Amino acid sequence: MLKTNPSIRSFVLSAALTSASLCAFGQITEPQRPASQPTTKALTFGPQAATVSPVLTKDVDQAARAPFQVSVPINVSNFTYTPVAIPTGRRLVIDYISYSGAAQTSGAYVQPILLMSVGVANNPSVVYYFGSDPSATAPGQYYHSENVTIYADTLSVAPAYAGYTPTFMAFNLVITGHLITP
């Protein structure tokens, strides 16, 4: 036969009686708050429903509702900025860029660079520089991909280089992200 300690038995009985008395009264109230803090109504249990205040929420899947993706060809023969169209009244959030291409020079080396000129909130544009890594197996081939977070109301991209002047340079830039309402 299992023996129980009388003090444990009395504690369990006391807890059960306290719980039953709270349920019998049907409500729990909190102590009086100082005057500087707002008061709240007592919680009510049973068929009466408690009122709930609205809470600010964040739309975590908004990026999926307005995706953005564009592919921009860039080469040395159009050595100017190419604008990327962003819908009027929207702001582009660039999440990822990727580009690949080729560059050659008659000199010792060339380092292709892609430029992104970005304007946001009517501020002057800033330029982001992205340098690519040469392929270890295919000389003259360059690849780059990167997770970024760049906000853009206006966007233009252009080629640039370091080193010797390229005799050939052609890249394809892929920009992915999503549109938001500023």
pLDDT digit string, tens, across residues 165-179:
999 999 999 999 999
Would you say residue 62 has pLDDT above 90?
Answer: no
- At residue 168, the pLDDT reads 92
In angstroms, rounded to a whole number, what is the distance separating the alpha carbons of residues 74 and 119? 20
- At residue 139, the pLDDT reads 86
- At residue 23, the pLDDT reads 45
- At residue 24, the pLDDT reads 47
pLDDT digit string, tens, across residues 96-117:
999 999 999 998 889 999 999 9
Q: Which of 169, 159, 86, 95 is nearest to 129 (CA)?
A: 159
pTM above 0.75, yes or no: no
pLDDT digit string, tens, across residues 134-174:
888 988 999 999 999 999 999 999 999 999 999 999 999 99
Higher pLDDT, 92 or 37: 92
Residue with tokens 């019998």: 24
SS (H, E, C) the chain: CCCCCHHHHHHHHHHHHHHHHHHHHCEECCCCCCCCCCCCCCEECCCCCCCCCCCCCCCCCHHHHCEEEEEEEEEHHHCCCEEECCCCCCEEEEEEEEEEEEEEECCCCEEEEEEEEEECCCCCCEEEEEECEECCCCCCEEEEEEEEEEEECEEEEEEEEEECCEEEEEEEEEEEEEEECC
- At residue 4, the pLDDT reads 53
Would you say residue 20 has pLDDT above 50?
Answer: no
Domains, the chain, ranges and CATH?
A: 6-44 (no CATH), 68-180 (2.60.120)
- At residue 136, the pLDDT reads 86
